[in-house]
Amino acid sequence: MRYQAWLGWLVLVMILCAAACSRAADRPRRHGEADSPDGNEARAKRGDDAKSPDASPDAADDDARFVHKTDREWRKILSSRQYRVTREKATEEPGTGKYCHTKDPGVYHCVCCGAALFDSKAKFESGTGWPSFWKPADKKHVNTALDLSAPELRVEVTCARCDAHLGHVFDDGPPPTGLRFCINSAALDLVAEGQQPRIGRKAVAPRTKAKKQHGKK
């Protein structure tokens, strides 16, 4: 059983590494790269600085849109719970997140930068106490990395645009991917069609439904 568990983790890591390698050439700019002349020259040669007219406004692989803020700025924008989860890599208690059992349609966006992360169509009830998805909205919008902070080997999931900690991904999900993205509600903002993403504390309050316009008799 121990061998099978490690084999499962090895397969998961190989899948995630392959996905990471496929987008390595156009990954988001990391901290400090903006000040590197060599990095700027390399991006200029690749044409990364040229904006495509078809580019999505929330494309996390757009170098120019990578979000970097100081710790003080994050504390000012985020609620204490959002900050602990997204910047300090804390984990919500199971069953306490507001999106744990939500079935409303929409797209889940990053509460730190507004990037589109997960579609409600990929959400499923995992019975774990955390919102679970079998795939991201776009694989370029999330990053994965080995998490060795606990005795159990895990794979961390972060926002590709702002490095916000989202949760972890496991290999016990449903078909067709077999993956379970186990995500903290505090890192998310559910955005329905026609709505705009909310950043930080603004995402804590429930959304108000638009009032219906009645025509004059």
List, by residue number, the catalytic residues.
182
Concatenate the DSSP letters of all residues of 153-167 into one string.
-EEEEEETTT--EEE
Q: Check: CB of residue 59 under 8 Å from CB of residue 140.
A: yes
Residues 6+ apart with CB under 8 A from 39: 29, 33
User: In this structure, how many other beta carbons lie within 10 angstroms of the beta carbon of residue 201?
Assistant: 14
**Ramachandran quadrant class, 36 (left: phi over 0; alpha: psi -120 to 50; beta: rest):** beta
DSSP assignments along 141-196, one per residue: GEEEEEE-SSSS-EEEEEETTT--EEEEEES---TTT--EEEE-GGGEEEE-TT--
